[in-house]
Amino acid sequence: MDILLHPTYFPSISHFAAMVQAEKITFEVEDNFQKQTNRNRTYIYSPNGIQLLNIPIKHSKGIHQKTKDIQIDFDFDWQKQHFKSLETAYRSSPFFEFFEDDIRPFFEKKHKFLMDLNFETLDIVSRCLRIKLDYTKTTEYIQDVDPTLFADFRFLADGKKDSSSFEKYKQVFDDKHGFLNNLSVLDLLFNEGKFTVDYLRTQAL
């Protein structure tokens, strides 16, 4: 299966499952930025339930910006807050300490562009999983997808349109809030470790 996706921030489990199961991956990089999507946000399992981690961006008033031109706003130290949230959520998970040294440096770098940051999160998780995801990028915006060329999974970047449902796995706070479905792939990684890839390969899309 060849798929077309948007790059997102520490992608959702559905996003990563699609990539792991794909034969070929193409990322849409010529689209206009859309607010309130996973392009600049991800969801984790905090002690209080689901928690949104949002990257602040610099907005240009009144004009459409391409996602690849979106710059990150560092007026607020979101990196420190995001990593602290991950520590609070997953410090007691089976594999957080195992992957901590792979992930911590990311939150100490200053990316100018959101898209560069998103591709780095993809590379970090791939390294943690010891898999290589080969992908290409679009050179122009694909409005209407030819189904003989791609399966269009760009909707996965919009969590409201993503109704994916997956098999339960053990989560840190599931005794408080039950199983939370389709969070960031980090939730799966910290809880399942080396079994993450097997899980992703067996989930129905």
Mean pLDDT of the chain: 96
Decide if pLDDT at 109 tops 80.
yes
* Helix or strand holding residue 24 (H, E): strand 24-27
Confidence of residue 29 (pLDDT cuts 50, 70, 90): very high
- pLDDT at residue 121, rounded to an integer: 98
The domain locations on the chain are 2-202
- pLDDT at residue 150, rounded to an integer: 92
Strands 135-137, 24-27: pairing kind: parallel
Decide if pLDDT at 152 tops 80.
yes
| Tokens linked to 164 | 């994916």
Decide if pLDDT at 97 tops 90.
yes
Whole-prediction pTM: 0.96
